[in-house]
Amino acid sequence: MHKDANMGYNVNEMNDFTARVPTCSLRMALTIIGTVPILCTYPFLQKYFTKGVYAGAVKG
């Protein structure tokens, strides 16, 4: 990609790039990027989630 005078990328080249990426592939990639951090942190924080569920289930 060639940079234009505005220190940014040429708009036509960016449009060509986004036109070549299928939306389904982009959606799947964003889904993986969004779920992997959650799946990595949940096992370490699971005990706090279960304590909160049990605390909320007990009546006064």
Question: Could you tell me the CA-to-CA distances from 3 to 11, 18, 21, 27, 42 in Å, in that order?
Answer: 10, 17, 21, 28, 42
Residue 43 sits at the vertex; the CA angle it makes with 41 and 45, to the nearest 5 degrees, is: 70
pLDDT value for 45: 86
- Name the stretches of the chain with pLDDT < 70: 1-19, 21, 60
Whole-prediction pTM: 0.47
Percent of the chain with pLDDT over 90: 23
| 31 SS3 class | helix
Tokens 């005078």 sit on residue: 5
pLDDT value for 33: 95
| 44 SS3 class | helix
Partners of 3 in beta bridges: 9
